[in-house]
Amino acid sequence: MTTKVNVASKNLAEIKDKCVAIAFFEDNLKLNKDITDFDKTISNAINDSIKNKDFKAEGNEVKAFYVNTKGVKYVALLGLGKEKEFTLNKLMDSVSILSKKIRSMDIKSFSIYFDSFKNKNFDFDTYLEKITQAVALSLYQFTKYKTKDLEKIKKIDKVTIIADKNNHDKASKIVSESLVYAEAVIKTRDLVNTPPNIAIPEYVSAYAKETARKNGLKFTVLDEKQLEKLGMECYMAVARASVNKPRMFILEYKGAGNEKPIVLIGKGVTYDTGGVNTKPANYMANMKDDKAGACSVIHVLEACARLKLRVNVIGIGAMAENSISGSAYKPDDVLKSYSGITVEVIHSDAEGRMVLADALAYSLKYKPKAVIDIATLTGAAIIALGYNASPIMGNDQKLIDKMKKASDKSLEKVWQFPLWEEYEELIKSDIADIKHLSSDIDAGAIVGGIFLKQFVKDVPWVHIDIGGAVWAKQDKGYRIKGATGFGVRLLLDFLRER
């Protein structure tokens, strides 16, 4: 469950919460009148800790202490570092560290004194949005499969943001919209973290159906027989080794009458063993996250409905399990894709692009004005950009620029990779139209993009490779160890800008 966040308009001294958090910049440690009045009720504890250099307001510093008042029982001072060097990323990080620190003290609720974040670059709406998201995302925990000592798991039930009276209604609206974003991320994390024995293609498809029912989205699904009949040989080649049969589900959100839709396609490989080119154990671990693209698409569609965005969006989840058995596809196979292009298989672990090739080609029947795919496509994405950003590439610079803009707004980092024409050579096949992989590993993320490009014809298209950003190896700020839900905020800001 997402932590409740609401807005209240009060003076500091009137707050009756268990804990109140007040932020300071390192180079501006003056107390305003409201803080001074409040400080008097706690024997000038704030002023003293600043004077004694107990609290210096360095970046991410948190000093929390007990105070004996009728209202609050704890005060948490948060350091924001130097005002000039402050960024929205630092804002989210510091609020995340604060939230987790307060939770570790087993405090169940706290209030944030919003006014104390003001500085030269302060933008009310953006700050409020990022603080709300940081609180909700940083307090995420995945405990569904724990059965022991549940009462020992510390939780924060409620966070209140104290904003001035004149802005109360505006603030409430921003907070509730920001929480729609945060909930979409959190539900994506939950679904991606769900183990692969449970979250098989049929399960994720049923989950999407339930989401559609709750949010008034249109839902359709193609099962293995229909995929086969449609001639999706590339998709079915990947899927056919597993007893867990594939599902391609389609969610439709209509917020803009008869406008052409934007199609979002998510890679939904519920487990990637690598196939006959089996992954070594240390590379196979966590491959339940290979369905993250599809999981984010479900929750982006849900958020579109909740926010009533004025766009038409179609979300496709291409679900399959890349398994091993006598019927598995093999290197050297040649398959006829849904688009008609014949594909020579080089390596069964490059399965995502096979599934996506057919899903991309199929999506053109909706006459989309743009197609976006989001996929844990390559480990090369990690080598190129690490774990905090995603390569993006496509065939339409305007669309890519819009995605970059959404990236700046959402703070989910993307970096454009080129799809140079001369690299098309890398997927030339001796015996089929193309091969799905280059014969060497160079420019792995780009080659993935070049392959996918063949299946979208001239429809504006962007590919987001979340191979690195999908998973957090450790807790840092609001990125909690495990599935990150990367791409949800990016795509929502992309759709919202339009």
380 binds ligand BES (CB under 6 A): yes
Q: Does residue 279 carry a catalytic annotation?
A: yes
Helices (H) and strands (E) in the chain, counts: 15, 19
Vertex 235: Cα angle to 229 and 240 (nearest 5): 80
Closest separation in Å from C-beta 194 to Zn ion: 17
Site string for ligand BES, 434-453 (x = CB under 6 A): ---x------x---------
Distance, C-alpha 476 to centroid of its chain: 15
Q: What letters, b where the CB count within 10 A reaches 16 and e where it falls short, cover 376-392?
A: bbbbbbbebbebebbbb
As a whole number of angstroms, the distance between CA 461 and CA 243 comes to 33
Quick one: 48 or 442, whose CB is closer to ligand BES?
Answer: 442
Closest separation in Å from C-beta 275 to Zn ion: 7
By beta-carbon distance, which residue lies closest to ligand BES?
379
Backbone angles phi, psi at 423, to 5 degrees: -80, -10
**Which candidate in 63, 154, 279, 404 is catalytic?**
279
As a whole number of angstroms, the distance between CA 140 and CA 272 comes to 26
* Size of site (CB under 6 A) for ligand BES: 15
- CA nearest 11: which of 43, 33, 34? 34
Closest separation in Å from C-beta 150 to Zn ion: 34
Closest separation in Å from C-beta 242 to Zn ion: 13
As a whole number of angstroms, the distance between CA 483 and CA 150 comes to 21
Residues 466-495 that bind ligand BES (CB under 6 A): 467
290 binds ligand BES (CB under 6 A): yes
**Which candidate in 353, 402, 409, 453 is catalytic?**
353
- CA nearest 251: which of 315, 207, 312? 315
Quick one: 251 or 380, whose CB is closer to Zn ion?
Answer: 380
Site string for Zn ion, 246-275 (x = CB under 5 A): -----------------------x--x---
254 binds ligand BES (CB under 6 A): no
321 binds Zn ion (CB under 5 A): no
C-alpha atoms less than 13 angstroms from C-alpha of 317 in its C-beta half-sphere: 38
Closest separation in Å from C-beta 167 to ligand BES: 42
Backbone angles phi, psi at 385, to 5 degrees: -125, -5
As a whole number of angstroms, the distance between CA 362 and CA 327 comes to 25
Q: Which of 61, 233, 349, 412 binds Zn ion (CB under 5 A)?
A: 349
Backbone angles phi, psi at 183, to 5 degrees: -65, -40
Q: Which of 81, 352, 460, 482 binds ligand BES (CB under 6 A)?
A: 352
17 binds Zn ion (CB under 5 A): no
388 binds ligand BES (CB under 6 A): no
Closest separation in Å from C-beta 292 to ligand BES: 9
- CA nearest 172: which of 7, 11, 2, 4? 7
As a whole number of angstroms, the distance between CA 370 and CA 456 comes to 10
Stretch that binds Zn ion, among 44-52, 111-119, 288-296, 337-345 (CB under 5 A): 288-296
Residues 330-349 that bind ligand BES (CB under 6 A): 347, 349
**What, of ligand BES, Zn ion, none, does residue 347 touch, CB below 5 to 8 Å by kind?**
ligand BES
Quick one: 261 or 485, whose CB is closer to ligand BES?
Answer: 485
As a whole number of angstroms, the distance between CA 288 and CA 299 comes to 18
248 binds ligand BES (CB under 6 A): no
By the 8 A CB rule, do 423 and 443 touch? yes
Q: Does residue 369 carry a catalytic annotation?
A: no
Matching residue, tokens 């292009």: 341
- Give the pairing type, strands 19-24 and 4-8: unpaired
Task: Report the run of H or E that residue 236 belongs to, with start and end.
Answer: helix 233-239
Closest separation in Å from C-beta 276 to ligand BES: 12
Residues lying near ligand BES in the complex (CB under 6 A): 272, 290, 347, 349-352, 376-380, 437, 444, 467
Chain positions contacting Zn ion, by CB under 5 A:
269, 272, 290, 349, 351-352
Residues annotated as catalytic are 279, 353
